[in-house]
Amino acid sequence: MAVSASALVALLSGSLLAGWVIGLAISAAVALHGARVASKPLGDLARDAERVRLADYRSTVPSGQFEESFAVTQALSDAGSALNASRFREESSRAELGSLLGAMAEGVLAIDAQERVLMMNASATRMVGLREPLAVGAQWWIELRFPELEQALRRVLAGHEVTPFDARAPLGDGSLLSLAINPLRIEGGIGGAVIVLSDVTAMRRLEQMRIDFVANVSHELRTPLSIVLGSLETIGDSGTDEESRKRFLEIAERNARRLHAIVTDLLDLSTIESQGDTMPMEPLDLERAVRASAEALRGAAQAKQVRLTLEESLRNSSHTVLGNAQRLDQVFTNLIENAIKYTPAEGEVRVLALQQGEQIVIEVCDSGIGIPREHLHRIFERFYRVDRSRSREMGGTGLGLSIVKHVVKAHGGQVEADSVEGQGSTFRVELPIHSPQA
Amino acid sequence: MTKQIEDDLAEINKRISHIGGLVEQALDKSLEALLERNARLAREVMNSDKVVDDLENEVEELCLNVLALRQPVARDLRVVCGILKINSDLERMADLAVNIAERAEVLSNVPPLPFRPDVTRLAATAKRMLRDSLDSLVKQDAVLAYSVWKADAEADKLYRELIGQAIQFMREHPDRIGDVMHLVGALRNLERLADHTTNIAEDVIFMVGGRIVRHHMREFGVEARLEPG
């Protein structure tokens, strides 16, 4: 019995130990599993947070495992969506701004207080003559030498106002730019500047032409007027004898006529310009019209001993154009009269016609003094004189070629001049041939 | 201290590039005045010289300040010394541009002379040399600087050809010797301006590599070809 009792104790204590061990093992396993189950979503959350940093806002945490982790996951995901939306808004508004600035005709260049480039649009790049826009963050003056901008920027960044000014483009074609520079104001001072560039080459040229025109008109009108006034004064003077009176009367009359001619031409020119497309026109035989204008000047040519030749092509052909007979007569009279005027005795003026596709071309060629190359492109401007003193001696108002150009333009054609100095000039008038069906 | 010297050097670089821009503009205008016979443009150049003179003094003062207060070493020291020399080169070049403009004004009032195409070529070469030398300075590009030095041979050749033509023309038209001499004067100033651009190029090579190549450019050239960039 004692044996059995001690054996039982042994058995009992053995199984107790075994139970202990087993119990410990089981509880350890359970704890480990529990920990793993609980920490898995946290690991996922950490990965999610990392993805948020990388701007990927989709959550990978399976929802519903634990109440608390679900709440965190949800919050994270909401924050992600909100961030995503605001980033989208920001990106689309930046793209909008970019395309807006890119499409602008004005050039825009923004720089910070250290004169580093913040942005530069395509127009600005083109205007200053660069191939590519300046790199963002680079100092602008490394790629671009632009002294006027440099000077103005220094003043703007120092807090001074700079009124918009003109400057020649630093690289390239010598076009004229207008620069407006405004400071970028931030708290506590000036954080940079925005430069707006516009190409004013054409505008300034027009302004100059207008200024020249007004100056020329005043000059051209005043000269004969002063002569008239001076002559009249002398005539009225009691000490002037009869013969001088007569001479001054002639001078006054000649200059009054000249004044009249200029005013008439000016009015003509403004009528032609304002009529434009509405100039009354009818189908007419162009060659016949040119022959008539030329024949009327035969007397003037003979008086100057200049041979006036109407070429075969003009005498024996006929093309219909839609035109205003009186104005076209003015064109050809002007051209042929000029040719005769600037051709010395024994010289020749030839007038010919030729067809070029849908155009009929009338050419007036002379063997006169010619026009220097540098003046050729300007002779159709009002009052433009190749040689001031000589032109006035020759008479003429200085408006003839301008009228020619405007009339031809109103007819849908064009006029060109070509010349070799000392050998002669050729004026070509191209007009569209009229086809009744069209 | 390092940051301060960097700021100072950036400021000096900006000023010298500003002077460079003004010289470039003066040369552009004086050459256009010469080629297009534009007296108004010529006078514009003559009136603008003072700005360069003032800026030259500013740059010199800045350089001396850096030398005295920051005691630069190595490359920084070379840059300051190089810019001091380039500064006086540029000032001289502005004067040469004014001389060209003065001749251009006279020539705009006499009948045209027949050398326009060749003068245009020499002008284009000199303008390119100036542009490249200034670019090599602001970008510290020794290879570009070397190309300036090479272009000088072309400028010299064009200049000699033009002088030959001018002498020939004067023989044939003794009545126009006075006019031609004005053109020759303008060309000599232009050729000297081109020489100054090679000085700038040599100083840039010194700044970048620490080698004095003045009068030894030929040997440097071999190396530049061997190791471009």
Q: Which of A286, A384, A389 is nearest to A329 (CA)?
A: A286
Q: Is B195 on the interface with A (CB under 8 A)?
A: no
State the Cα–Cα distance between residues A293 and A301, nearest whole angstrom: 13
The secondary structure of A2-42 as a DSSP string is HHHHHHHHHHHHHHHHHHHHHHHHHHHHHHHHHHHHHHHHH
Phi-psi region of B140 (alpha: psi -120 to 50; beta: other; left: phi over 0): left
Nearest to A145 among B10, B21, B32 (CB): B21
- Rounded to 5, what percent of chain A is helix, strand, coil? 55, 20, 25
Please list every residue in chain B whose beta carbon sits closer than 8 Å to the beta carbon of residue A146.
21
Q: How far apart are CA B176 and CA B173, in angstroms?
A: 6
Q: What is the pLDDT of residue A407?
A: 92
Across the interface, do B139 and A168 touch by the CB < 8 Å criterion?
no
The candidate with the shortest Cα–Cα distance to A368, out of A398, A335, A340, is A340
Percentage of residues in chain A having pLDDT higher than 90? 34
B 128-147 near A (Cβ less than 8 A): 134, 138-139
Domain ranges, ordered by start, for chain B: 2-226
Q: Contact A433/A299 with Cβ under 8 angstroms?
A: no
First to last CA, chain A: 140
The pLDDT value given to residue A277: 73
**pLDDT for A324 beyond 80:** yes
Q: What is the CA radius of gyration of chain A?
A: 46
Cβ–Cβ gap A141/B14 under 8 Å: yes
Q: Write out pLDDT tens, residues A275-290.
A: 877 888 999 999 999 9
Encode pLDDT of A243-256 as tens digits: 888 999 999 999 99
What is the pLDDT, as a whole number, of residue A73?
A: 72
| pLDDT score recorded for residue B227 | 46
Question: Count of A–B CB contacts within 8 Å?
Answer: 30
**Per-residue pLDDT at A5:** 58
| CA dist A339 → A7, A362, A371, A407, B1 (Å) | 150, 14, 12, 19, 79
pLDDT at position A272 is 87
CB contact under 8 A, A145 and B32: no
Residues from chain A that touch B21, judged by Cβ atoms under 8 A, are 145-147, 150, 170
Please write the tens of the pLDDT for every residue from A393-423. 666 788 889 999 999 999 999 999 999 888 8
What is the per-residue pLDDT for A350?
A: 94
- Inter-chain touch A168–B25, beta carbons under 8 Å: yes
CA closest to B18 among chain A residues: A147
Please list the residues that pair with A365 across neighbouring strands. A350, A426
Residues 158-177 of A with CB under 8 A from B: 168, 170, 174
Instruction: For chain B of 229 residues, list the mean pLDDT of each consecutive stretch of 10.
Output: 82 92 93 90 90 92 93 90 94 95 92 87 94 93 91 93 93 91 94 95 89 67 47
Cα–Cα distance between B55 and A431 in angstroms, integer? 59
pLDDT band for position A64 (50/70/90)? low
Q: Which one is predicted more confidently, A100 or B189?
A: B189
pLDDT score of A1 more than 50: no
pLDDT band at A237 (very low <50, low <70, confident <90, very high): confident
Q: Following DSSP, what letter does each residue of A393-404 receive, concatenated?
A: HT---S-HHHHH
Residue of chain A minimizing CA distance to B21? A145
Q: Which residue segments constitute the domains of chain A, with CATH numbers given?
A: 2-96 (no CATH), 104-199 (3.30.450.20), 203-277 (1.10.287.130), 279-438 (3.30.565.10)
CB-CB under 8 Å, A139 with B21: no
Who's near B10: CB < 8 A, 6+ residues apart?
Answer: A139
pLDDT in tens, A364-379: 999 988 888 878 888 8
Angle, CA B41 vertex, CA B36 and CA B46 arms, to 5° = 130
Handedness of CA A279, A280, A281, A287 (dihedral sign): negative
Taking an 8 Å cut-off on Cβ atoms, the answer to whether B18 and A142 are in contact is no
Q: Tens digit of pLDDT for each residue in A156-179?
A: 999 899 999 998 888 767 789 999
Q: Roughly what angle, to the nearest 10 degrees, separates helices B74-107 and B2-36? A: 20
Structure tokens at B136: 């090599």
d(CA A309, CA A315): 10
Contacts of A145 (CB under 8 A, 6+ apart): A170, B17, B18, B20, B21, B24, B134
Query: What does the pLDDT read at residue B113?
Result: 86
**In this complex, is the C-beta atom of B49 within 8 Å of any C-beta atom belonging to chain A?**
no
Q: What is the DSSP string of A226-243?
A: HHHHHHHHHHHSTT--HH
Is ipTM over 0.85? Answer: no
Predicted pLDDT at B84:
94
What's the whole-number average pLDDT of chain A? Answer: 84
Is the model more confident about A258 or about A63? A258
Contact B20 A115 (CB under 8 A): no
Q: Select from A179, A115, A171 the least CA-distant residue to A149.
A: A179
Give the closest-approach CA distance of A258 to chain B in angstroms: 31
**Angle at CA B179, nearest 5°, toward B175 and B182?**
150
pLDDT at A325 over 50: yes
Q: Measure B13 CA to nearest chain A CA, in Å.
A: 9
Whole-number Cα distances in Å, A361 to A87, A350, A402, B43, B205 = 66, 14, 19, 45, 63
Residue A39 in this model has a pLDDT that exceeds 90: no
**Residue with token string 């052909």:** A317
Instruction: Give which of A308, A282, A273, A313 is closest to A293, Cα–Cα.
Output: A308
Query: Which distant-in-sequence residues (6+ apart) come within 8 Å of B189 by Cβ?
Result: B96, B97, B99, B100, B103
Q: Does A3 score more than 60 pLDDT? A: no
What pLDDT, on a 0 to 100 scale, did the predictor assign at position A394? 65
Q: What is the CATH number of domain B2-226?
A: 1.20.58.220
Closest chain B CA to residue A374: B36
Rounded Cα distance, A51 and A48, in Å: 5
Which residues does chain B have within 8 Å of residue A147's beta carbon, measured at their own beta carbons? Answer: 18, 21-22, 25
Q: Please tell me the predicted confidence (pLDDT) of residue B228.
A: 43
Between B167 and A89, residue with greater pLDDT: B167
The arithmetic mean of pLDDT across residues A213-218, rounded, is 85
A307-310/A348-356 β-pairing: parallel
Stretch A6-26: mean pLDDT: 69
Q: Which residues of chain A from 120 to 139 reach within 8 Å of chain B, CB to CB?
A: 139
Q: What are the DSSP calls for A76-137, one per residue?
A: HHHHHHHHHHHHHHHHHHHHHHHHHHHH-SSEEEEEETT-BEEEE-HHHHHHHT-SSPPPTT
Residues of A in contact with B24 (CB under 8 A): 145
The two tokens of residue B14 are: 């900006």
> What angle separates helix B217-226 from helix B142-172, to the nearest 10 degrees?
130
Measured distance CA(A417)–CA(A379) in Å, rounded = 9
Looking at residue A187, what is its pLDDT? 84
